[in-house]
Amino acid sequence: MNQNLLYILAFMAILVAAGYVYNRKSVLAQARSGAVQNGRGSMAHWHSQANYHGYFTAWITGLVTFAIFIGGVFIGGSGLPFLLAWLGVIILSGLATILIVNRKITPQFRARNYVERFIKLSLILLSVIAVLTTFGIIMSLLFESLRFFDKVPVLDFLFGLQWSPQTALRADQAGQSGAFGAVPIFAGTFLIMLVAMVIAGPIGLMIAIYLSEYASKSVRKIVKPLIEILAGIPTVVYGFFALLTVGPTIRNFAEGFGFSVPTQSALAAGVVMGVMIIPLISSLSDDVINAVPQTIRDGSYALGATKSETMKQVVFAGALPGIIGAFLLAISRAIGETMIVVMAAGRAANLTGNPFEAVTTVTVQIVALLTGDQEFDSPKTLAAFALGLVLFVITLILNVIALTVVRKYRERYD
């Protein structure tokens, strides 16, 4: 069946192409014979060029055949006779469309305007699809979360301090009822994000300032791509780098001072995540610093300001909204990052502010809740939706703040 659908779609494509070619030719032929009679350039008195008549035919043919195609899908018969009849109707109606349009072709026909309108409509349609998809995802998150909140009270989820989502698989099993207090895992997420930003914020910003203000062109040409390579490393590689190299190093270092530190810790995951988002911050900040016009720097130099005074007080002020935007984007990225924390942060939902302890994050818990054999209506799996919803709301708020800040303080340079 699926394969047959492909054949039918191929026939439709051929019809559309044929419609374009046939009616375009037909316009050119008409135009040529018209030109012989009135002695002017062949397309001179045509409202639309031959191409537009072709496109118009192609669009109409496409729409008609697609409508019949969808109709066939809904009727949903099977077997060879049905398929042949379906294909036959499509081909016949397609050909009929081409011929009817062909009869309509006159120099006055405003094919160009229709084509432009079609294009506008299809662009609108595509953007609507994107918006609806987002909307659909939000709705799904919302409704599944509501189901979860039927079983676990919202307040227990948002403010509970205990997270241990193991529930009894069968009613007769004893003991585990599960605790769904999300505070520890949001605290863990926040802690790792904080460590990552402490690493990536200053380093990324300084790199951007060096590259845009101090580095010579040749240095910049080499260093910038090298830093951006960091962004191209798969996160799973960062993950085992954190687990196998950074984690043990931190542990050994701490043992040297007589502390016992687990291999999986917020610090290991956060440091590596920080390295990962350095290029995000440096690249975006570099762009906004470069967008500050040279004339403003000149104005500062002309007042007798040094390079660093100009950078700190003038260029930075102009680039600040963009830099804030870059930081918020990096924070969103850090919060949503999964692979590194799955491998390096651990799964224990400790409520702690100590970066040397193992913590867990929202993304890690979503992975943990949904991997393995699960019923899809147990609180354990539904909790993933609730976590996803809260994560989404947080990043949404971050983005809104970022946009507002950027819009409010943006300097317009033309």
Q: Can you give the binding site for other proteins, defined by CB under 8 A? A: 216-217, 292-293, 295-306, 309, 313-314, 317-318, 411-412
- How many angstroms separate the CA atoms of 208 and 285, rounded? 6
Q: How far is CA 23 from the centre of its chain?
A: 41
| Cβ closest to other proteins, residue 240 vs residue 301 | 301
Least distance from other proteins to the Cβ atom of residue 304, Å: 4
Least distance from other proteins to the Cβ atom of residue 210, Å: 16
| Cβ closest to other proteins, residue 335 vs residue 406 | 406
Nearest CA to 342 out of 272, 396, 256 is that of 272
| Cβ closest to other proteins, residue 323 vs residue 359 | 323
Helices (H), 292-315: 294-302, 307-309
Structure tokens at 365: 């818990």
| Cβ closest to other proteins, residue 105 vs residue 292 | 292
| Cβ closest to other proteins, residue 231 vs residue 303 | 303
Residue 171 CB neighbours (<10 A): 5
Task: Check the CA dihedral 368-371-372-378 and report its sign.
Answer: positive
**Residue 79 phi/psi, 5° resolution?**
90, 160
Least distance from other proteins to the Cβ atom of residue 29, Å: 54
Helix (H) or strand (E) holding 231, with range, is helix 217-232
Least distance from other proteins to the Cβ atom of residue 330, Å: 23
Least distance from other proteins to the Cβ atom of residue 317, Å: 5
Which three-class secondary structure state does DSSP give residue 248?
helix
Placement of tokens 């300001």 in the chain: 305
- How many angstroms separate the CA atoms of 275 and 267, rounded? 12
Least distance from other proteins to the Cβ atom of residue 299, Å: 4
| Cβ closest to other proteins, residue 305 vs residue 368 | 305
